[in-house]
Every structure is written in C-alpha cells, then in structure tokens.
Amino acid sequence: MIGFIIIGKNEGPKLIKCINSIKRTIDHNGIGEYEIIYVDSNSTDNSIELVNEIEGNIKIFKVTGNARPAVGRNVGAAESKADHYCFIDGDMELVPDFLPNVMDDSGNLKYPFVSGQFENFYYDENDHRIGSELYIKNVMNKDQYQSTTGGLFIIEKGLWDKVGGMDTRFKTGEDLDLGLRLAKKGHLLLRKKELFAIHHTRHYKSKTRIWKDLFAGKTLYARGVLYRKHILSLNRHIVKRIMKSDPTCLLLVLSGLLTIITKEFYLLIIYLLGIIIGILLLRQKVSFSEVLSRILYQFVRDVLTIFSFLFFYPRKAELQYEKIK
C-alpha cells in the first residue's frame, strides 16, 4: 500500500489542487490500496476546513507544537500504515502518468528511494503566474542518481525507518539532510527523467524571497548546520554539495585565513572578485544597484553560514500534534 503524505501551511486553494491531483493519480492508475494523509503546520487560514470538505477518506492531523516540515513529515509517517510513503508539499500537483515509471503492477516500488523531474510555476505577490522553469534546468535525457532530495519523493517504509525519518533539528534543509544520510548508507536517490509534479511557488531568485529566506534562518540550517553535521560524520557526499552551493563561502574562508596569516587585508579582494565573477557568469543584464544588492546578500549569507557552522546548535523539535479527522 502507498501512503500519500502531504504537508502544508496556509496553502489554501493550492492544497485543494494538490489533493485532487492525488485522487486523479489514484484513479488513473487504478490504485486499490492507498491512504491520503494531510499534516497541517498550524495554518492560520482555512486550509484544514477546505481539506475537511473534500470527499473521500483523508486523514487530517494538525501540528500543535513546533511546526517544521521535518515534524510534519515525521507525523505523517508515524500515522501511516503504508509500505511506501509518497511525500508531497501542499503547493504541488502530481502528474498521474508518473507512477507507472516507479511502481509495478502489484503496487510495489521498483526503486527504494525515488523522485522525478518537476516544473516550477512561478507567481508574483498577487498570485499572477509570471513564468515557469524545470527543477532540473537542463532537460534530463536519462535518469540520475543523487545524494540529496527535495520535498517530493517516494521511499520504502523500511528505508525511512532505517535512518529514523527526518531530523527535527532542521527548520529547513531537512530533506537535504535525509538524502545525505541515506547516501552515506549507500542509498542514493534515483531521479527519474519523467515529470513527477507541478510546483506552484514564488521564484527562488526573487529579491523578496531570497532575503526572506535568509532572515528566516534558511542559511543557518540548510547550510551551516547541515555542513557541520555531515563533515563531522565523515560523509563524503557533503563535499560535492558544498562545492556546488557555496563556492563563495569557501572563498571567504580561504581569503580570511590568508589575511590572518599574512596580515595583508587586500587579500579579501579575492573574495569580492569571486562574487563579481559569479554574477557575471550568470549572464544576466543587471543594474549597478542590483550588483551591489547581490554582493551584500552573498556576503551576509556567507557570514551567516560560517557563524552557524561554528556556533549554532539547534535542538530537536518534539512531535506534538492532534488528530482532526
């Protein structure tokens, strides 16, 4: 049996689209044994009421304590009776044709830890669609094995239990941590080339979003804490992640160490040049003020990453929740 576990907070109408897409997927593939679980992260809108009005047997739980994605997913898994968990965020819509690529006719997973391509539909502050972009920007011509995952994936219950689910110390970056822990044990995520879902969201590179994510602590958890945890556990897969996601942070550390050793402060220019080169490599036409904004953002992010790596030690959040339906 497969369990569709949805987490969400204040998703409103997008949540209805998500659940309806799951129901279409079930009908389209003739799935007989399944369950749908929605875990609400203490929404302040009418998300729970909207789900309650949907026909069908949908289990609803509400997180009453520390509402983090890791907590929500762990609650869903703890309350599920399924053999396989399909985790999906409340702002996503499943593509019904995807499941036959990863499940056999008996309803069993062909791969223990799997996901697929998905497409981001971007919206402005007024919820007007402004564009779209594939998650894997270069069109995938073949399946790929990866050491990290996002919030959309299917996993065998036994494999989930093997690593103890998600680490609730993470406010964000919990999915990256899960993928890295599984990779260390030899279980890489198989990302299928086929389209798995549509993701309705704000653009990841919008000014509003990047600064909001920064001050919401995303850098503290998804970078500093994540890097420290997997470096100390000697997880070789973290090296690729750091090189790909934070080359300027490495450059700041290097130029900072050289400055301390030589007492030549001009060496910090190496770091500034690295950021400017990175901006130029994006090949986007940006104004001078935009360049200054990006330099400031990158510097703040890198400093916070180093700070959290050295000094930030968050506590685990307990699973505190109640059953709504």
Q: Give pLDDT tens digits for 47-62.
A: 999 999 998 889 999 9
* Residue in the structure block whose two tokens are 């992640």: 241
* pLDDT confidence of residue 290: 76
Residues β-bridged to residue 6 = 38, 88
Question: What does pTM read for this prediction?
Answer: 0.92
Where are the chain's structural domains? 2-206+316-323, 210-311
What's the confidence (pLDDT) of residue 208?
Answer: 77
Q: How far apart are CA 6 and CA 36, in angstroms?
A: 8
Question: Looking at residue 1, what DSSP letter applies?
Answer: -
How high is the pLDDT of residue 138? 62
DSSP label of 220: I
Strand partners, 50: none
pLDDT of 221 reads 95
CATH number of 2-206+316-323: 3.90.550.10
Look at residue 5 in the predicted model and tell me its pLDDT. 98
- pLDDT of 268: 84
* Strand 113-123 versus strand 58-63 pairing type: unpaired
Integer Cα distance of 151 and 103 in angstroms: 19
Alpha helices in the chain, H assignment, sequence order: 13-28, 47-52, 69-79, 157-162, 174-184, 207-215, 218-219, 226-232, 237-245, 247-262, 269-281, 288-311
Q: What is the pLDDT of residue 320?
A: 96
Give the chain's length.
325
pLDDT averaged per 10 residues, the chain (length 325): 96 94 96 96 93 91 95 98 97 96 91 94 85 76 92 97 97 96 97 95 80 83 96 97 92 91 86 80 66 85 95 96 94
